[in-house]
Amino acid sequence: MGQREMWRLMSRFNAFKRTNTILHHLRMSKHTDAAEEVLLEKKGCAGVITLNRPKFLNALTLNMIRQIYPQLKKWEQDPETFLIIIKGAGGKAFCAGGDIRVISEAEKAKQKIAPVFFREEYMLNNAVGSCQKPYVALIHGITMGGGVGLSVHGQFRVATEKCLFAMPETAIGLFPDVGGGYFLPRLQGKLGYFLALTGFRLKGRDVYRAGIATHFVDSEKLAMLEEDLLALKSPSKENIASVLENYHTESKIDRDKSFILEEHMDKINSCFSANTVEEIIENLQQDGSSFALEQLKVINKMSPTSLKITLRQLMEGSSKTLQEVLTMEYRLSQACMRGHDFHEGVRAVLIDKDQSPKWKPADLKEVTEEDLNNHFKSLGSSDLKF
| pLDDT tens, position by position, 133-181 | 999 999 999 999 999 999 999 999 999 999 999 999 999 999 999 999 9
Strand duo 83-88 + 46-51: pairing: parallel
Helix or strand run (H / E) with residue 77? helix 62-77
Q: How do residues 46-94 score in pLDDT, each as one tens digit?
A: 999 999 999 999 999 999 999 999 999 999 999 999 999 999 999 999 9
Whole-number pLDDT of residue 7:
52
Contact 230, 44 (CB under 8 A): yes
How many Cβ atoms sit within 10 Å of the Cβ of residue 225? 22
Catalytic residue among 146, 154, 179, 181: 146
Q: What is the DSSP letter of 178?
A: T
Active site residue 177: yes
Cα 204 vs. chain centroid, distance in angstroms? 17
pLDDT at residue 336, as a whole number: 96
Query: For residue 152, which of 181, 114, 132 has the smallest C-alpha distance?
Result: 181
State yes or no: pLDDT of 279 exceeds 90.
Answer: yes
pLDDT of residue 35: 52
Burial class (CB in 10 A: 0-12, 13-18, 19+), 69: middle
Q: Please give the pLDDT value at position 25.
A: 47
pLDDT at 335 over 70: yes
Question: pLDDT, tens digit, for every residue of 200-259?
Answer: 999 999 999 999 999 999 999 999 999 999 999 999 999 999 999 999 999 999 999 999
| Listed residue (378, 207, 377, 375) closest to 303, CA to CA | 375
**CATH top-level class of 36-252+262-380:** alpha beta
Catalytic residue among 169, 218, 329, 341: 169
- Pairwise CA distance, residues 263 & 124, whole Å: 37
Q: What are phi and psi of 94, to 5 degrees?
A: -75, -60
What three-state secondary structure class fits 143? strand
Identify the band that residue 262 occupies on the pLDDT scale cut at 50, 70 and 90.
Answer: very high
92: Cβ contacts below 8 Å, ≥ 6 apart = 54, 57, 141, 142
Residue 194 and residue 202 in contact, taking contact as beta carbons nearer than 8 Å: no
Do 361 and 277 meet the contact criterion of CB atoms below 8 Å apart? no
- Mean pLDDT in residue range 319-324: 98
Distance separating alpha carbons of residues 228 and 226, to the nearest angstrom: 5
Q: Does position 26 have pLDDT exceeding 50, yes or no? A: no
* 21 band by pLDDT with thresholds 50, 70 and 90: very low
Q: What is the mean pLDDT of residues 282-305?
A: 98
Q: Name which of 176, 131, 149 is nearest 317 in CA terms.
A: 176
SS3 assignment, position 355:
coil
Give mean pLDDT, residues 279-301: 98
Q: Which element (helix H / strand E) includes 247?
A: helix 237-250
Check residue 9 and give its pLDDT: 53
- Is residue 111 scored above 90 in pLDDT? no
Given 177, 218, 226, 329, the catalytic residue: 177
| pLDDT number for residue 1 | 57
Residue 148: the pLDDT is: 98
Percent of the chain clearing pLDDT 90 (strictly above): 87
Other C-beta atoms lying within 10 Å of the C-beta of residue 365: 9
The Cα 170–Cα 243 span in angstroms is 37
pLDDT score for 4: 56
For residue 169, indicate whether it is catalytic.
yes
Concerning whether 98 is annotated as a catalytic residue, the answer is: yes
Kindly compute the dihedral angle of the four CA atoms of residues 209, 212, 215, 217, in this order, to the nearest 10 degrees: -80
Q: Which residues of 196-212 are buried (b: 16+ CB within 10 A; e: fewer)?
A: bbbbbbbebbbbbbbeb
Instruction: Find out whether 213 and 247 touch, Cβ atoms under 8 Å.
Output: no
What's the pLDDT score for residue 2?
Answer: 57
321: left (phi over 0), alpha (psi -120 to 50) or beta: beta
φ, ψ (nearest 5 deg) of residue 289:
-70, 165
pLDDT at 23: 44
Which whole number is the average pLDDT over 319-341? 97
Domain ranges of the chain: 36-252+262-380
Q: Round to whole Å and give the CA distance between 268 and 266.
A: 5
Instruction: Please state the rounded mean pLDDT for residues 343-372.
Output: 96
Task: Supply the pLDDT for residue 241.
Answer: 98
Active site residue 380: no
Q: How far is 90 from 251, CA to CA, in rounded Å?
A: 22
| CA dist list (Å): 293 to 167, 250, 272, 309 | 20, 39, 14, 22
Tell me the pTM.
0.90
State the pLDDT confidence band at 356, using cuts at 50, 70 and 90. Answer: very high
Catalytic residue among 47, 97, 98, 145: 98
Least confident of 109-113, 206-210, 264-268: 109-113
